[in-house]
Structure formats: C-alpha cells, structure tokens
Structure 1
Amino acid sequence: MLAFSLQLYAVYKTHPAIGFDLWVFHHALISKSLNAESAYFSRYQNNILMLLIQHGYLSVVGIKNYWFKLDLLNVILVDSSVLINVLLVFIYNKVYIARVIWIQAISLFFFPMILVPYSDTFILPFVSLELLFFVCIIKSKKVIFTILCSTLLGLVTSFVYFIKPSAIIPVIAIVIMAIIRLRKISKREVLTGSCFLLMLISSYVMIGTFVSTQKYIKISKQDNMPPIHFISIGMSGQKGGYNLESVKMMYKLKSPQQKKEYSIKQIKQTLEKRGPLGYIKFLISKQGYNTANGTFGWLQEGNFLVASSKVHTNVFKQYLYADGKYLSDFRFFAQILWVIALGILLLGFENRGLLENTLRLGIIGGFIFLLLFEGGRSRYMIQFLPMFVVLLTLISFDGITKFKRIFYTVKK
C-alpha cells in the first residue's frame, strides 16, 4: 500500500508533459485538426488501438488536467499488472507470496515510467494476464476451467498484438514449451489448443475490423511501416536504434513494395559492410544497450521530458527531472537493483520447473527480438518485466544460495 500511495502522490505532484511519440498522441487526443497526426498513425498503425482506448477514457473523465488523468490511468494499469503477478504466483505456489510482494513493492519505488502513458506500460497488465492464464492452465484439474483459461489466453494474445506485437513473445514461449513437453495428445490438450486457436483467430479478426473501420482518425493503410524496416534500423548505427535517415526515406517512398525493397537493400549493405565477425560484435554491443540500463532508458528519448525541477519544486522532481538535484542518486540506486536482479536470475539456473523454463525462454525470446528489430535502449525491456519479476520471485532463493557458495569458495 505504501508503494501504491507513493505512486499516486508522485503523479499528483508531477504529471509532466512527455515528448517523443506521446506528443503526437497528445495532439491527436485534444486537437480538432488531425492531418499531421493522421500521417503518424498511418505509418505506425499498431498505435491506433491505444489511441482509441485513451480517447474513450478521456471522453468519460474529460480532457481537463490531461497529463494527470493519463498518468492516473497509467498507474492503474501498472498496479494491475503487479496485482496479477501476485495472484499468479499465489496460484502457482503460495509459498512465494511474501517474496513477490516485496520484489514488486521495491521495484515500484524505482519505476518512474508511470509518468509516461505509452504502450510500454499500457501493455503490462495484459502480459501479466498471459502468464496468469498459462499458470491456471497448468495448475487446473478441471477441464472446463482449463478451456476457459485457454480461450481467454487467445483473446488477450490478440489484444496484445494490436497494442504491442512484440509482447506476444511470452505466448510464443508458452506454445514452444507445450510442444516440447508434449508426449501424447489427449482430448484435454486438443480442446485446450483448439479453444485457444479459435479465440485467437476470431478475436484477431474482430479487433482488426474494429481498428480498420474506426472513424476517429483518417488512416492511409499503404503508408504503414513494414516489419522489415524495423529490422533494417535494428542493424544500423552503433546501437541498432532509431535511425532518422532511414525513417525519412520511408516517408518519401510511397508504395509498400518500395519501402520493402529499400529496407532489404539497407540490410544487405549493412551486412556487407560489417562482415560476419563485425555483425557479431555489433550484436554483443547492442545487447548491452538493450538491457544494461536499470532506469529503463529514463530521459534517454529525444524530447522525452521538457520540464524543470525548479518550477513548483518537490522531492519527486528533484529525483526524476533532467535538471533535478538527485537524478544521479536515482540512477545509481535503480542500477544497483537491476544488476542484483540480473545476477540472481543468472545464478538461479538450477531451478528448472515448467513455469521457470517458460519464463526463461520468453526472456531469451525478448532479447532475440530486440537484437533483430529496433532496439538500442532499455525502454523496450519494460514490456517483458512481468516475466522478469515472476522468474526472480521463483528462483531468488536458488540464486542467492549459489552466490553465497561462490563467495565462500573464492574467500577460502
């Protein structure tokens, strides 16, 4: 409760305007002229559903105090993810319940992304739901409950795909583990898989139809950025992150085929320039940029937060704003916690239960995705945090025990 209360108070005392992509959302939600915003959402059509949901929310609560109300929604979503994580751990093994509460509470104290109402945090409760339904499936002894959970998993997966496609990676890990562990096909497994696929396909069609027929903002479907574009910029530069030159070229090219051909050409040129060893070195370096920052890229985006801690100053602004007096202290403590968490995850490899291995596979899948597609900053890791939190909960004892053994061995 202390962590939740502190979050609400922090949002109330700050709720700054946020730049980068969210500035386009801001104009699309409060402006009557949507021409420029239409161009953006035509290029990044995966953001349309979130825009529509935020529009519906603001239609109910009003646009007065816009940033505060969006941050409040963001807090609700983040905290919902926390509660779902606690519930799924309780269902899986209630022995870990105190541990997951402590881990979640501590992490919330160092998670300023509640001030950034974007898809990274918006998707968190739904990623947690993916894991919750999986745990319910493997723990349930009743066929009807298993079928219900698999159906809901299919629905959530479709919804997640339209908000942030990469966030379906946990479900991909679940399917892979289910196939690996399959010994013989029973009626229960056939029903579970069939219900999942049926709901996945039907809900995908329904949500896709809703998004494509919406009237709120005019969209040019052929302007959508092809997936291969994000692979191309994921190979560019030093970090494999946002590439303005490539994006500008995408804006100039009109047809989807031209965009694909340009991206393929860029990929070939990059591979020829780097060579096999050079590309491997690049991937190793990029993995560091993708995962090393314990603040998850706080203030690293262009035009991220244009606000001063000196205006109506308070302790939250001093810790989180770019000119804040204690910003470096926040970064230091957040980094220490992140390093400890990664260390425990690395050392807790001996715990190899079904859920633990599925979470490991999902995290590795997230790493691979960020290596192949646009990355270069750890903000993209936020969408996978439920997997990290749950796995850390389940293997923390093993990881700490392993660390003690290594420590005493070295000490001797």
Structure 2
Amino acid sequence: MLSKSKRTLFGFLHLVLLLLMVHWLYTSVVYLQEISNIAIFIAVFLFLLTWLLRDRLKIAYVWLIQHKKGFLIGAVICQFVMMVCAELFIRRDAAVVFKGAFDLLKQSSITNYLSRNPNNIPLFLYEKFFYVIFGSSGLWVMQLLNILYVNLGAVLLYKLSQKHFSQKIADLAFVFYVSLICYSPYFYSMYTDILPIPLITLQLWWVLDLLKADDAVISWKELLGLSVLSGVAMLIRPTTIIVMIAFWAVLFFRGNWKSFGKIAMVTGLATGFVFAGLNTAVEHQSVVPILKKEGLAKGPLLFINLGLTDMGHNQEDMKEGLLAYIDEDKRSDYNNGLFKKENVIKEIKRRLKEYGPWGLLGHIYYKQSLTVAEGTLGWLYRDVEYEKTPFINPLYEPLTKNNGLAKWVRTYFLSIDRPQYKYYEFVKQLIWIVLSAGLVGAFLKRRDTDAFNFLSLAVFGGLLFLTIFEGGKTRYLIQFLPQIILVASIGLAGFSKKENT
C-alpha cells in the first residue's frame, strides 16, 4: 500500500515539477526580450548554429572538461578582478549591517535596524567578529572567505556528483555551477546567499550517502554530523531545513518504520538542539542592544504578507498596507506597532480576499516568473547615485577610479545601468536557458529512485517556500542552486545517454 502511495505521490510531484520547469524554460527564453528586442533572434541563431556545429561543440566541451582546474582558476582570477575594480561594494540591507558591524554607523542606528530586522543579527555578529579580530582589514578577510566559500561549493558539488551519479553528470554540474556562480560578482555583496552554499552541498552529499547506505549499517557519526551541519546552516539560512524535510519524507516512504524512527528522531532532535542553542545565544548576545517591543520586529508572518505584494518583495507596498491599521498621528513613530501579528494577519486576509482565487493564481504565476527569470541571478547593482545606502570599495578612490581596466570591468560586468552590461547578461541568460532545458529533461522521464526523489523534493520545497513567503527575485534561488544544478545535470545527461541515478 505504501509503495503504491509512494509511486503515486512522487509521480504527481514529478508532473507538477515538469510543468514548473516548462514554465521556467519559457520564462528564461522570454526574458531575452528584457535584454534586447533582438536578443531572442540572436539566441535562436546561436542555438541553431550550435546544432549544426554540434561535433565541434562536443570537442570544445571535452577540452573544457579536460581543463576543469583552469576553468575554476580563471573564475578565481575574475573574482579578484571584480572585487578590486568594483566601486559599489555593498548595498542596501547588507550595507547597513556591515556599516553597523564595522562601527561606521551610530549605535542607535544599527540598534534600530536590527530591532526591526532580527533575522540579520547572525550576519551582524559574524561581521563584527572579523572587525574585532582584524579591524578594518576584516573586510578583506571576509572577502577572501567568500571566494573560498563560492569555489569550495564547486569542488564539493563535483565530487558529490561523481560519487553518487556519474562522471558525465559531475562534469555538467561543475560547468553549470562555475559558469553561473563562480563567474559572477555575487560573492562580494555580503548577502547571506553565498556563505551557506558549501554547507548545503555537504548536506546533499551526506543525505545521499545515508540514502544509499543499508539501513543496518547507517553511520551514526554521519547522522550527527549532518544534524550539526544542518543546525548551523539553519542559523544562516532557515530554508536549509528543506533539505532535511525532503530526507525525512523519502525515508518515510521506504516503509522501514524502525529505521525511519531512529534516523528521524536523532537528526530531528540533534538539528533542533544545535539550531535552538545557536539561536538562543544570538538572542542573548550583548554586542549590540536590541529593542524588544510588540510590533517592532519583522516576524515570519510578515514575509508571507510581503510575498503577497505585487512583485512578491515590494517593501513599500507592504508597509503602506499595514499603515492602514495604525492611527494617523502615530504613523511617523518609530515603534508604532506596525508589525503586530494581528495587523499582519488582517493584511494577509485582506490581500487574499482582494486577489480572489483566480487573482491569486495569477499573482503566483507572475511571482514565479520573476523568481526564475534571470541568468544573472538577479544582480541589481546600479550606479552609486541610485543607491540608498552604498558602501564604496576602499580601493576605488586611491586605486581604480581612473584605471582603464577597472572602468571597463565596471561598465561591462558590474553596473546594470550601463548598456554594455547587456552582453554579459545575454551570455548568462543563454546558460540559464540550457539549465532550464535540463530541468525539463529531468522530469520528462520517470526516475523512481530515492536519490532523485530526494532532489526533486528539495527543489520543489525551495520553490514552494518562495511561493508562500517573500519571492520574486532570482537571487533567492541561489540558496537552492546546488540541488537545482544537480537535477538539471541529470536531465541533460539523460538526453544523450541513460545515466545512473
């Protein structure tokens, strides 16, 4: 009975994911129009040319695979060049957190910000640690660590794919990861997108190890290691729990209740204990004063409300809606109870009623389209004059302001306001389209294995989270890219040869 239910459930899941991936492919192609009116025609011509010259393309791809180390080293060099040449280094919320951690803001300012946004306290403490140890040089230490994190993710994903799938899938996953993430300036932005990537990849690796192992010889050390890792990762990005939920779901449908009970209990309790311990430590930190008053801090429900705004991340629309529940004479007060739970619930109900069933479906479709659209992963760095809270690269004034190479890098790769940025954006979008084609291919064929079902759930869980909570930015997919890239690589590998999944 359970086996039949499992087959039916995962069959339905794969059908839903196939529809989502077809939409992803369609959206990524249509987005070419946002880059240029003729971008779609150029892309079609290039793909046709690629098909006609596929034998030469295969030779070029084989050469690239034979020089993987050089490909990654080239990415590291590009990362250093981008880091040095950038003018705008850190923007928006990330800049506020950084400036507060490095004592570049008044304490009252960072206190007010973190009291409103307590989800950013772990990032603040992380950055403050490096400031205390290294002073202003802590910025460069963290940047070097970011370079380590992003490139370590490539190595781990490659080794994981080699071990659990095939060399062909490992090569594809490596090329996708390095092309999309390593050849990108995202690492220096100081968001929490890059930091957890190697942890997420290790999560996937250890879960796949455990799913592959015989129930009688489960490694309890690996279980505890996975739990500790997941607890730490959750502090950085709570969405990493989705990997564990997918793991527990696959174990449940195996039908071995004794094994499921032991593993779920050990990993659930250990992960919860580690996360709760770290979260408690953060809540009781004394590095920066935090104001705790009703309706002051943004809670989880608020991000559901934010997800119901037109784009799924419209902060101004979200605040404007909530202000309707606040007396006019108190609306300008710092602590006016704007984010009280009852206000947020009322606003969620109002938005849902205003949408109606069909309007909500339209909203979800639009939000999902924004989420999966951009091959640049939603890079939004504009010229400095358009930024509200910029932190300028300390190397800009003394070193790169008038440097020709630095100007060229900023113009073609770092500022979306420059028309020349379209070339880089176009190349990234072509890679994104191929990735989305791989995702479609992965679900065209029935792959009823624990490993693939686990990855499917991990991808679906991420998309579902961005549908319910704040979404509508491709940047939010970075935290789910390891599993997305794996699934796409499986799909592409299956186009030409039956792969081992």
Q: Deviations over 1:328-365 (max 9, x none)?
A: 00111111111110111112222443222221222121
2:107 aligns with 34
Q: Which amino acid aligns with 2:149?
A: L
1:389 aligns with 485
2:242 and 2:461 in contact (8 A); partners too: yes
2:357 aligns to what SS in structure 1?
Answer: helix
1:178 aligns with 251
Q: Which has the larger radius of gyration?
A: 2
Written as runs of structure 1 = structure 2, the 5 A alignment for 1:146-185 is 146-179=219-252, 181-185=253-257
1:17 aligns to what SS in structure 2?
Answer: strand
| CA 1:142–1:79: 2 relative to 1, 3 Å | farther
Which segment drifts farther, 35-44 or 98-107? Answer: 98-107
1:373 aligns with 469
Q: Which amino acid aligns with 1:246?
A: M
1:130 and 1:153 in contact (8 A); partners too: yes
1:234 aligns with 307
Equivalent residue in structure 1 for 2:163, among 91, 96, 111: 91
Structure 2 residue 412 is the aligned partner of structure 1 residue 336? no
Equivalent residue in structure 2 for 1:312, among 393, 403, 409: 403
Question: Structure 2: how far apart are the matches of 1:257 and 1:31?
Answer: 28
| CA 1:4–1:141: 2 relative to 1, 3 Å | farther
1:407 aligns with none
Shift, 1:300, TM fit = 6.4
Question: Structure 1: how far apart are the matches of 2:337 and 2:366?
Answer: 31
Shift, 1:52, TM fit = 1.3
Question: Structure 2: how far apart are the matches of 1:47 and 1:5?
Answer: 30
Q: Which has the higher contact order (CA 8 A, sep 6+)?
A: 2
2:176 aligns with 103
1:71 and 1:116 in contact (8 A); partners too: no
1:117 aligns with 190
Written as runs of structure 1 = structure 2, the 5 A alignment for 1:196-207 is 196-207=267-278
2:97 and 2:124 in contact (8 A); partners too: yes
1:406 aligns with none
1:62 aligns to what SS in structure 2?
Answer: helix
Structure 2 residue 387 is the aligned partner of structure 1 residue 303? yes
Let me know the Cα RMSD of the aligned residues. 2.9
1:345 and 1:395 in contact (8 A); partners too: yes
1:192 aligns with 263
1:152 and 1:196 in contact (8 A); partners too: no
Which segment drifts farther, 127-136 or 388-397? Answer: 388-397
2:228 and 2:270 in contact (8 A); partners too: yes
Identity of aligned residues (%): 22
1:348 aligns with 442
Question: Structure 1: how far apart are the matches of 2:404 and 2:496?
Answer: 40
Question: Structure 2: how far apart are the matches of 1:121 and 1:298?
Answer: 13
1:277 aligns with 358
Q: Which amino acid aligns with 2:91?
A: G
Question: Structure 2: how far apart are the matches of 1:264 and 1:400?
Answer: 51
Q: Unaligned stretches of 5+ in structure 2? A: 1-72, 324-330
Question: Structure 2: how far apart are the matches of 1:217 and 1:282?
Answer: 39
1:77 and 1:125 in contact (8 A); partners too: yes
2:97 and 2:123 in contact (8 A); partners too: no
Equivalent residue in structure 2 for 1:7, among 65, 79, 92: 79
2:440 and 2:491 in contact (8 A); partners too: no
2:286 aligns with 215
1:46 and 1:162 in contact (8 A); partners too: no
2:204 aligns with 131
Q: Deviations over 1:110-165 (max 9, x none)?
A: 42211211111122122112112202212345967621222122222222222222
| CA 1:400–1:52: 2 relative to 1, 3 Å | farther
Shift, 1:277, TM fit = 0.8
1:146 and 1:192 in contact (8 A); partners too: no
Which segment drifts farther, 382-391 or 266-275? Answer: 266-275
Question: Structure 1: how far apart are the matches of 2:187 and 2:312?
Answer: 26
| CA 1:215–1:143: 2 relative to 1, 3 Å | farther
| CA 1:6–1:361: 2 relative to 1, 3 Å | same
1:344 and 1:400 in contact (8 A); partners too: no
1:268 aligns with 349
| CA 1:318–1:274: 2 relative to 1, 3 Å | same
Question: Structure 2: how far apart are the matches of 1:296 and 1:97?
Answer: 22
Q: Unaligned stretches of 5+ in structure 1? A: 403-412
